[in-house]
Amino acid sequence: MTYLKNYKGWLLHSIVESSWSLHSLVYLSRSVSQGDRLIAAKAPNSSPEIFNRLCRDESEEIRIAVASNPNASPESLEYLYNNQELQSWKIIRAAITNPNMPHRILRQIIIEPDKLSGILAYQEWALINPNLPSDLIDEIAHHGAPVLNKIFAARHPNASEDALALLSLHEGPLIRIAVIKNPNVPSKILSRLSKDSHAAVRAEVASLPNAPIETLVVLKHDENEEVRERAFNTLQYLVSNDRSLENKIEELESLLDLGIRGDVDPLNLDDIDI
């Protein structure tokens, strides 16, 4: 029995990880065996027909597998979301965060919260969706929303520069830190946040290898010890990967000694749509 159990586990892993024939997956999806149907629900190359059938499966484990499959059909995800009385929160969360969730549903979650129950959790989950359109992230940035949702918006790789600029002005330091951690944050925003009144915000900028060299050199002389140490370590890391930066850093240090800062031009707040 142990051998048979291990063999079935190996078979499930092999089918999920390999490109099995669609004919075999259709057969498995119609099987009376829950294990067979689970294989089809997890397979990366199952068809929309299979996903649309299995999203209605009596087994919650199989419905979770469909909702979690990044290749699940938009129709199956919409069904799982719209039939919430039949679903657990795990299924709804997986469906909302799935990259194939229709934008129409994501828009409803972000734009029309009054029509939904549990909207706070739904918005948090939608803001994790990797394919959330930038205009919906802008909605969170420009309008009243819980701090946690604004943090998710600030971190999202699809956030527009306008949204990041606006969120970088938020009074909450955690939101400003989230902006810094966004992989697409512009240098001019980092430059301005390097002068933030909160040392924790400046320290986050000082930890970024992609921060402007000029900004890191200035932070190396910050009044806060933690900020200075982080900036020093970041500069050391950059030099270890590119020795040619040593001369530039020395030149910037000399200018700083003369009271001349070489920061990136400050953010033009007139360009932000507030």
| Ranges of residues in the chain whose predicted pLDDT is under 50 | 3-4, 15, 17, 264-274
* Cα 135 from Cα 132, distance rounded (Å): 9
Torsions phi, psi for 242 (to 5 deg): -155, 95
- Find, among 181, 182, 171, 177, the residue nearest to 134 by Cα: 182
- What 3-state class would DSSP assign to 217? helix
Whole-structure pTM value: 0.80
Question: Which residue has 């397979």 as its token pair?
Answer: 43
194 C-beta neighbours (distance < 10 Å), count? 27
Tokens of 244: 């040619």
Contact assessment for residue 256 and residue 232, using Cβ atoms and an 8 Å cutoff: no
* Cα 155 from Cα 179, distance rounded (Å): 6
Q: Where are the domains of the chain?
A: 1-73, 202-264
Q: How far is CA 2 from CA 7, 8, 9, 10, 30, in A?
A: 9, 10, 11, 12, 26
241 C-beta neighbours (distance < 10 Å), count? 8
Query: How does DSSP classify residue 37?
Result: H
Q: Counting beta carbons within 10 angstroms of the beta carbon of residue 169, is it exposed (0 to 12), middle (13 to 18) or buried (19 or more)?
A: middle
**Inter-axis angle of helices 147-155 and 134-142, nearest 10:** 140
* Cα 253 from Cα 39, distance rounded (Å): 61
* Cα 185 from Cα 193, distance rounded (Å): 11
pLDDT (0 to 100) of residue 264: 43
Q: What angle do CA 117, 121, 127 make, to 5 degrees?
A: 120
pLDDT (0 to 100) of residue 14: 54
